């Protein structure tokens, strides 16, 4: 076999574009997987191609239906819709067996009767001789070679007849040209003694059958690629382009793990992140378009190419994700935010049906608070003051009201009187407060502080005129009456 011709890197040459996301359902959808899915999805969208979801569930011990659910749920939350699938490898067993049978007939695969002990012994011998351990080819048929007698009572594995000479080379769209000598590679077991196909083989048959044009995946699969290419070639398949995206690392340069915060995509909605923020953030992990930091998915799909994928690992930065989330919170529709925030507040004991008095409109409260919130949880925490009975701290009330009641009480009484008739809008309330201050020669904090305490129970609130407007005339008067 001669050296492989490198595959062209021309990204639009292979049309129609067909990409896939091929998760193994052994856990949740993690950030690295979501990013790979995003890149594959965006690439298909960029070229008007097809994005396929394929569940690689052949590892029966580690795959669970819950993990399949979790992955699909994560993809749905992100809005990464697949055009085909989900295909399940466990439902394609007949097809893999069919291809294996054909390869046995064609002579690109062979039965190997070496026992695991024998294989281990030959590997040990090679190790001792300082060679790379590999299968020694005992059962590999060659012209003119006589194979050993088939041992009784032994079920064979099927091995792929890897080329002995030459090399495999591909132009990785991320890493550049990668070349591996065929001598480095074993005759891979493609079917176990019970006939079940092995991992790399299933991937190959799927990529072939599903006519995948671009394989974008994590660089933990680089070592599988030369084996997969050799099998694809033996099958006479057109080779896809490969792009191996570097890992996502934590800020400390270590592989991303729980220590760095949430690694499951679905932990993010639970922590108050918006899907568009997550997508935008993930898009920038290992890909760039000039200095653009915030962009829509439509924009991303238009820009996304394989030429600007980074060769070096991206670092996960939770502060930047929070910043991006704040950006999208500010843009988000307040009614939508209210739907996200409301259950969080209910859990925290917010009262949205406070007796007969009306409660402030949550969407309006959110409009006031969201500017400074990095998550919907932060909005919920800040919004609580509008939905619970005030319980001002006695010491603060003493300081800001009782101890200075001689000066302050007449002004507050005046304020409450004017509240009966003032137009209940922020500007009218602001003007009215100014008049009260002037009439009683007081400064803003002298009246704003006790008002905040009496109405909200706390000293830290948004601007008092805004707070008053949101609570409404009825609630404000009701709460002031207790003190005046
Ligand atoms: N199932 C593999 C994984 O979850 C991905 C295989 C591939 O993309 O080729 O890591």
Q: Give the domain CATH number at 475.
A: 1.10.10.350
Same domain, 85 and 171: yes
What's the CA-to-centroid distance between 217 and ligand 1, angstroms?
7
Contact call for residues 84 and 40 (beta carbons, < 8 A): no
Q: Using a 6 Å cutoff on CB, does residue 221 contact ligand 1?
A: yes
Phi/psi of residue 347, nearest 5 degrees = -65, -35
List 244's β-bridge partners, or say none: 217
Domain count for the chain: 3
Q: Is residue 209 part of a domain?
A: yes
Q: Which atom of ligand 1 is nearest to the CA of 26?
A: 4
C-beta neighbour count of 347 within 10 angstroms: 9
Burial tier of 304 (Cβ tally within 10 Å: 0-12, 13-18, 19+) = buried
Report the alpha-carbon angle 283-344-38, nearest 5: 15
Beta strands 84-88 and 109-112 are unpaired
Looking up residue 23, the CATH number of its domain turns out to be 3.40.50.620
Closest CA relative to residue 392, chosen from 475, 456, 446? 456
Contact call for residues 245 and 173 (beta carbons, < 8 A): no
Q: Is residue 268 part of a domain?
A: yes
Same domain, 98 and 243: yes
Same domain, 375 and 424: no
For CA atoms 278, 283, 289, 290, the dihedral sign is: positive
Same domain, 1 and 61: yes
Q: What is the pLDDT along the chain (484 residues), one digit of tens a residue?
A: 333 343 434 444 557 999 999 999 999 999 999 999 999 999 999 999 999 999 999 999 999 999 999 999 999 999 999 999 999 999 999 999 999 999 999 999 999 999 999 999 999 999 999 988 889 999 999 999 999 999 999 999 999 999 999 999 999 999 999 999 999 999 999 999 999 999 999 999 999 999 999 999 999 999 999 999 999 999 999 999 999 999 999 888 888 877 777 789 999 999 999 999 999 999 999 999 999 999 999 999 999 999 999 999 999 999 999 999 999 999 999 999 999 999 999 999 998 886 666 789 999 999 999 999 999 999 999 999 999 999 999 999 999 999 999 999 999 999 999 999 999 999 999 999 999 999 999 999 999 999 999 999 999 999 999 999 999 999 999 999 999 9
What's the rounded Cα separation, in Å, for the pair 321 and 42?
20
Same domain, 209 and 267: yes
What's the CA-to-centroid distance between 241 and ligand 1, angstroms?
15
The b-or-e profile of 375-400 (16+ CB within 10 A means b, else e) is bbbbbbbbbbbbbeeeebeeebbeeb
Domain limits for position 410:
394-480
Q: Domain boundary at 331, 361, 377, which?
A: 331
Q: Domain boundary at 310, 331, 352, which?
A: 331
Same domain, 305 and 351: no
Those residues with Cβ within 8 angstroms of residue 472's Cβ, 6 or more apart along the chain or in another chain: 357, 358, 360, 424
Contact call for residues 243 and 250 (beta carbons, < 8 A): no
Q: Look up the pTM and report it.
A: 0.90
Q: Domain boundary at 331, 356, 375, which?
A: 331
The residue whose two tokens read 């790979």 is 36
Q: Which atom of ligand 1 is nearest to the CA of 228?
A: 9
Q: Is residue 118 part of a domain?
A: no
């Amino acid at each position: 076999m001669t050296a492989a011709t490198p595959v062209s890197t021309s990204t639009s040459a292979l049309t129609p574009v067909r990409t896939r996301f091929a998760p193994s359902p052994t856990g949740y959808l993690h950030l690295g997987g979501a990013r790979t899915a995003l890149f594959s999805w965006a690439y298909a969208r960029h070229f008007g191609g097809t994005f396929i979801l394929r569940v690689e569930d052949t590892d029966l011990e580690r795959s669970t239906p819950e993990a399949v659910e979790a992955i699909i749920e994560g993809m749905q939350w992100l809005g990464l819709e697949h055009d085909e699938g989900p295909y399940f490898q466990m439902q394609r067993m007949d097809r893999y067996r069919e291809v294996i049978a054909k390869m046995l007939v064609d002579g690109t695969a062979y039965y190997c009767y070496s026992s695991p002990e024998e294989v281990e012994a030959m590997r040990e011998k090679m190790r001792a001789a300082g060679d790379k351990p590999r299968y020694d080819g005992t059962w590999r048929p060659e012209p003119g070679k006589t194979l050993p007698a088939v041992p009784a009572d032994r079920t064979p594995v099927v091995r792929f007849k890897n080329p002995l000479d030459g090399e495999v080379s591909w132009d990785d769209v991320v890493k550049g040209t990668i070349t591996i000598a065929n001598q480095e590679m074993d005759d891979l077991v493609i079917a176990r003694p019970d006939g079940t196909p092995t991992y790399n083989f299933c991937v190959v048959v799927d990529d072939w059958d599903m006519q995948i044009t671009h394989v974008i995946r994590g660089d933990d699969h680089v070592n599988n690629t030369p084996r997969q290419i050799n099998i694809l070639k033996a099958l006479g398949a057109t080779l896809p382009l490969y792009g191996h995206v570097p890992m996502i690392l934590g800020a400390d340069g270590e592989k991303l793990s729980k220590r760095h915060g949430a690694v499951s995509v679905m932990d993010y909605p639970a922590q108050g992140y918006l899907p568009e923020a997550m997508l935008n953030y993930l898009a920038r992990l290992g890909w760039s378009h000039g200095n653009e930091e915030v962009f829509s998915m439509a924009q991303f799909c238009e820009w996304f190419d394989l030429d600007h994928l980074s060769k070096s690992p991206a670092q996960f930065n939770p502060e930047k994700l929070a910043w991006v989330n704040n950006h999208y919170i500010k843009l988000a529709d307040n009614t939508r935010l209210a739907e996200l925030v409301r259950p969080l507040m209910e859990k925290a004991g917010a009262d949205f049906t406070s007796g007969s008095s009306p409660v402030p409109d949550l969407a309006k409260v959110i409009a006031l608070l969201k500017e400074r919130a990095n998550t919907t949880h932060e909005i919920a925490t800040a919004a609580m003051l509008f939905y619970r009975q005030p319980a001002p701290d006695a010491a603060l009330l003493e300081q800001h009201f009782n101890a200075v009641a001689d000066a302050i009480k007449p002004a507050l009484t005046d304020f409450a009187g004017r509240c009966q008739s003032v137009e209940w809008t922020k500007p009218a309330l602001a003007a009215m407060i100014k008049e009260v201050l002037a009439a009683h020669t007081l400064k803003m904090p002298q009246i704003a502080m006790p008002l905040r305490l009496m109405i909200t129970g706390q000293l830290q609130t948004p601007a008092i005129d805004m707070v008053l407007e949101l609570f409404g005339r009825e609630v404000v008067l009701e709460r002031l009456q207790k003190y005046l």
